[in-house]
Amino acid sequence: MRRAGGRVRVNVHLLEASTGNHVWSNRYDRPLADLFDVQDDITRSIVASTQTQVVLNEGLIAERNEHPDFQTWDMAKRGWREIYQLTRESLEKAREIGLAIKRHAPESPKGPQIVATATYHLVYMGFASDPAVMREEAVAEARQAIRLDDRDEYTQWTYGNVLMGLLGRREEAIAAYQQALETNPNFSLAYGSLGTTLAWAGRSDESIATVEIAIRLNPRD
């Protein structure tokens, strides 16, 4: 951390403890009006900015980890890593991983979360082999994830995406994104999705403010 005049600069590096491999880094330059406010701002930014990168990195770790006690966790990380690639092949692979999680751990919300998210993107991006059938599958899987654990931010975010993107139910989608943010106030994906949905609902001022939060929390996502 360096201080110059009325500003403070913090360089942050995230390393994988077991190997020392570099995972993520960023630099924060903020006004030093109040040191504690600066610390809180940087903390929120770090949490949000590292979230996606940690998921991607953990997906790589999971591919190397064969410990049976962590099978569901490993599979989920691989699934989300495939989703973040956003190609037809990666989304289809993520969907298969989600279905495998459902067979292995039917009580876990992670399986339907991943199936719903991958299937949603396949439909939304025009990759679905049978859009009508896969649309219904995405909706059913998102609802199953809600039944299994409605306190999980990824469950609520997934449900919101399906409600808005596939069913056009804006107010319910907004409520789902807001619930995700109550669970995790640093969840930049939910802020971004909420901002987009608010724009579609004609609530432009709220949309701009919400998207600005998403960008401030995670400008690289």
24 sits in which H/E element: strand 22-31
How far apart CA 151 and CA 195 sit, in angstroms, is: 21
Residue 52 contacts residue 84 (beta carbons within 8 Å) = yes
pLDDT at 186 over 60: yes
Task: Say how many C-beta atoms besides its own lie within 10 A of residue 200's C-beta.
Answer: 13
Question: How far does CA 166 lie from the centroid of its chain?
Answer: 18
The more confident residue out of 137 and 42 is 137
How far apart CA 165 and CA 173 sit, in angstroms, is: 9
Q: Say what the pLDDT of residue 41 is.
A: 57
Give the residue carrying structure tokens 């719903």: 116
pTM for this one?
Answer: 0.70
pLDDT at 39 over 80: no
Mean pLDDT of 33-61: 53
Closest C-alpha among 117, 108, 119 to residue 72 = 108
The predicted-structure confidence for 78-88, as pLDDT tens digits, reads as follows 999 999 999 99
What strands lie across the sheet with 22-31, from one edge to the other? 2-4, 7-15, 22-31
The more confident residue out of 32 and 94 is 94
In order of 54, 58, 60, 198, the CA distances from 16 in angstroms are 10, 10, 12, 38
Q: Say what the pLDDT of residue 26 is.
A: 65
164 CB contacts (<8 Å, ≥6 apart)? 170, 173, 193, 197, 200
pLDDT at 221 over 70: no
196 CB contacts (<8 Å, ≥6 apart)? 207, 211
pLDDT at 38 over 90: no
70 band by pLDDT with thresholds 50, 70 and 90:
confident
Q: Say what the pLDDT of residue 62 is.
A: 45
Q: Say what the pLDDT of residue 92 is.
A: 98
187 CB contacts (<8 Å, ≥6 apart)? 48, 51, 153, 157, 180, 181
The predicted-structure confidence for 116-126, as pLDDT tens digits, reads as follows 999 999 999 99
How far apart CA 45 and CA 65 sit, in angstroms, is: 29
pLDDT at 172 over 70: yes
Q: Which of 12-21, 73-82, 85-94, 204-213 has the lowest mean pLDDT?
A: 12-21
